[in-house]
Amino acid sequence: MSMSLADSWGSAPASPIGFEGYEKRLEITLSDAPVFVDPCGRGLRALSREQIDSFLDLAKCTIVSHLSNKHFDSYVLSESSLFVYPHKVVLKTCGTTKLLLSIPRILELAAELSLPVLSVKYSRGMFIFPGAQPSPHRSFSEEVSVLNSFFGGLKSGGNAYVIGDAFKPKKKWHVYYATEEPEQPMVTLEMCMTGLDAKKAEVFFKDSTDGSCSSAKEMTMLSGISEIIPEMEICDFEFDPCGYSMNGIYGPAVSTIHVTPEEGFSYASYEAMNFNPSSLVYDDLIKKVLACFCPSDFSVAVTIFGGHGFAKSWAKGAEVDSYMCDDLVEQELPGGGVLMYQSFTAVTPGAVSPRSTLDGWNSDGAEMVAKSKEMSVCWEGEKAAKKKDADA
């Protein structure tokens, strides 16, 4: 099934302009297997390396490093990261990977382990080079159609949202969510940054201008990444000639960073998930991340399950010095979830590098932009439903 699906879509050529930093992120949560099937409760962690490779191959990425603890396994990939918990898999890929093509194989492996699907969440920002994306990632409607074919039958049905200011098409957040029942309490932060400060970005080039060669460990220390959450054990990796990825683990909590430092399409992402929201202050964490990159623009998406009381400081909008908030949207999700989305622009002259030289770039395959000032477009099933003052 997975091979026929993968073979039915052709590949798109890599962008001749630059590398696509914005990631696609897929999170599938599973229910427990019967105790007689999995008495040790290993769930997905019982998968072999060969089985994991079988779905990564479909997404067009490979494992370059890994780090584990008693709670989960983390993998740095050639394009971003993979996290495998007993009952959850999170796959995050950048570039022109075909993330959604991994779904049939993941579900097949879960079924072999008697792990039924509880929920799925897919999210991404607005691609810098949308026309370079291959099927099934040429548009959000195409992605929603694929997701609904696998998860539309869950109790909530498939629910998709495009969130953000319609007059700022580069600052949109795309989310698909479907669930059988309410999720366990958890907070997830997804942060996307563009227009990185030139000096900050320079750290992530393997060969520096003075002729010295930097390792991933040096990049982690020099950038300040190691100080964002100091308790995290970090698995980092540097790419040639530039670029950087890291996964951090601490108990069941994870953080991950991916950096594309080239001028003109520089990008960095930060994610933290499954942490105790009482132990981290939302604004403080964001400021620590920003200090590593000093971007000209950034967005934050906080997904909350368990209610505002559980989420503590994460349940309110962030305020960040030297940045103006362009947009603040609170979107309810099925099963009692909430998504808080904000986008920001730097306001202090000279504090950041010039904006991307690709701001005016457009191509066939770019997603259409609604005309309303603020938008949260929802699909129910494969059909667009209610849209306030918006065009398809």
What is the set of active-site residues?
80, 94, 245, 258
Residue 207 DSSP code: B
Which element (helix H / strand E) includes 278? none
Q: How far apart are CA 125 and CA 163, in angstroms?
A: 10
Residue 239 assigned to a binding site: yes
Q: How many CA atoms lie within 13 A of 310 on its CB side?
A: 16
CA distances from 88 to 142, 292, 314 (A): 24, 30, 22
Alpha-carbon distance 294 to 346, whole Å? 9
Ligand-binding site membership of 112 (annotated): no
77: closest CA among 243, 215, 222? 243
Looking at the DSSP bridge assignments, the partners of residue 190 are 271, 301
Residue 293, annotated as binding a ligand: no
List Cβ neighbours of 161 (8 Å cut-off, separation of 6 or more).
173, 174, 175, 176, 177, 331, 339, 376, 377, 378
* Residue type at 278 in one-letter notation: S
Task: Look at residues 145, 144, 173 and name the one whose alpha carbon lies nearest to residue 160.
Answer: 144
262 is in an annotated binding site: yes
Q: Alpha-carbon distance 118 to 116, whole Å?
A: 6
Question: Which residue stretches of 208-266 are H helix?
Answer: 216-223
Binding residues: 19, 79, 239, 262
Binding residues for substrate: 19, 79, 239, 262
